[in-house]
Structure 1
Amino acid sequence: MTPFVFGSALTVDAGTKDLRAADHLLQALAADLALPEGGFGCTHLVRDDRPRVVLSFTLESPEARGAARDRLTALGHEVTDGAPDDCGRAVRYPGVAALTGTLPVGEILAASAIDAVTVLGTPGDPAPDLPLHTRDHVRPQWRQGRLVLAAQPAAGGVLVPFEHPDPTPCCVDH
């Protein structure tokens, strides 16, 4: 799989306040820019005097970055070169479209850019044949150059991604 190259990214700051809105904006901008399916699109939490969620997109060539920068700027977004940090949350990445339904952990690792699955509260890696119910919402995070999906045990002996696709409104910003 193609790794996320932080230097080949553009960061988009649209002043978005929550992850759900950032996910939707990221998908809409990727479609508007006609970005290839195999690229990376990530969200990054910014915790400064103006907390928000910014987006990053990888673009293969300087020409593609320039065209995307021009289009995003024309749409009124603040755009900078590079990714804001090295620990983004991947929304678009190679293989994400295949991660639907319930799949064995080994298949998730083989079919996507995800490098590892960790299970909260357990040591070691989960068995490759352990089923993971994706809930059609798989958001791994970059950790030390590897794309890692945090999962948790669920009823029926399956795993689910730790991040829920529809968080309780009181907990969205935590």
Structure 2
Amino acid sequence: MLDADRLLHRMAAGLDLPGDVFGCTHLVRDDRPRVVVSLSLASRPLPDTLRERLAGYGAVFPGLPDEVGRAVLYPGVSTLTGTLTVAELLVGSAIARVTVLGTPEPPGPDTRVVTRDHVRPQWQRDELVLAATPALGGTLVPFEAPDPTPCCADH
């Protein structure tokens, strides 16, 4: 996954992608399991010129591999650094909801989220949802760690 994240960041820098782009990773579980990346825009298709430039990074296919991609690039991601409240996170980015693992209720808007500068929400029913876990001092942290341990990194 980290290699796919890096590829998306290289593509964003090298292709001068618009700020409203969504860059996601997807796990493909078929006879050749792998991670693929996707780029999309919320309000319009990717321009043909961008599709042509993407070919330099690998095969380009129309559409998305699945509906549950893990977002690496999305509107507002660059502002999700340090510690923010849930309200700030939702207002400042394309993330629609925050869930807390193990609890049925959403966190309150004033709940602090320690981002660790690594916020990877997933698509769920056409909206970006950040899964978080409780942390010290009544804070939350995104479920996905920025530096996963080797035993978990390849799942």
**Structure 2 length-normalised TM:** 0.94
1:16 maps to what in 2? Answer: none
Q: Quote the offset at 1:153 in angstroms.
A: 0.3
Q: Which has the higher contact order (CA 8 A, sep 6+)?
A: 1
Q: Quote the RMSD (CA, aligned, Å).
A: 1.4
Matched, 1:97 2:83: no
Any stretches of 5+ residues in structure 1 without a counterpart? Answer: 1-18
> What is the CA–CA distance in structure 2 between the aligned matches of 1:65 and 1:46, rounded to whole Å?
25
Amino acid paired to 2:30: D
**Between Structure 1 and Structure 2, how many residues are aligned?**
154
1:10 maps to what in 2? Answer: none
Q: Quote the offset at 1:55 in angstroms.
A: 0.8
> What is the CA–CA distance in structure 2 between the aligned matches of 1:127 and 1:159, rounded to whole Å?
11
Residues 89 and 76 of structure 1: CA distance in aligned 2, closer, same or farther (over 3 Å): closer
> What is the CA–CA distance in structure 2 between the aligned matches of 1:134 and 1:76, rounded to whole Å?
29
Q: Quote the offset at 1:36 in angstroms.
A: 1.3
2:39 maps to what in 1? Answer: 57
What CA deviation, in whole Å up to 9, does each residue of 1:1-34 have, x standing for no partner?
xxxxxxxxxxxxxxxxxx1000000110121111
> What is the CA–CA distance in structure 2 between the aligned matches of 1:22 and 1:76, rounded to whole Å?
12
Matched, 1:34 2:16: yes
Q: Quote the offset at 1:38 in angstroms.
A: 2.3
> What is the CA–CA distance in structure 1 between the aligned matches of 2:75 and 2:57, rounded to whole Å?
28
Partner residue of 1:69 out of 47, 51, 64: 51
Q: Secondary structure at the match of 1:26?
A: helix
Q: Quote the offset at 1:61 in angstroms.
A: 5.5
What CA deviation, in whole Å up to 9, does each residue of 1:115-152 have, x standing for no partner?
00000001111010000000000000000111100000
Q: Secondary structure at the match of 2:47?
A: helix
Matched, 1:87 2:30: no
Matched, 1:44 2:26: yes
**Structure 1 length-normalised TM:** 0.84
Q: Secondary structure at the match of 1:167?
A: coil
Give 4+ residue runs of structure 1 displaced > 6 Å after superposition: none
> What is the CA–CA distance in structure 2 between the aligned matches of 1:155 and 1:80, rounded to whole Å?
43
Any stretches of 5+ residues in structure 2 without a counterpart? Answer: none
Matched, 1:129 2:110: yes
Q: Secondary structure at the match of 1:106?
A: helix
> What is the CA–CA distance in structure 2 between the aligned matches of 1:21 and 1:158, rounded to whole Å?
29
> What is the CA–CA distance in structure 2 between the aligned matches of 1:112 and 1:23, rounded to whole Å?
18
1:15 maps to what in 2? Answer: none
> What is the CA–CA distance in structure 2 between the aligned matches of 1:76 and 1:131, rounded to whole Å?
38
Q: Secondary structure at the match of 1:115?
A: strand
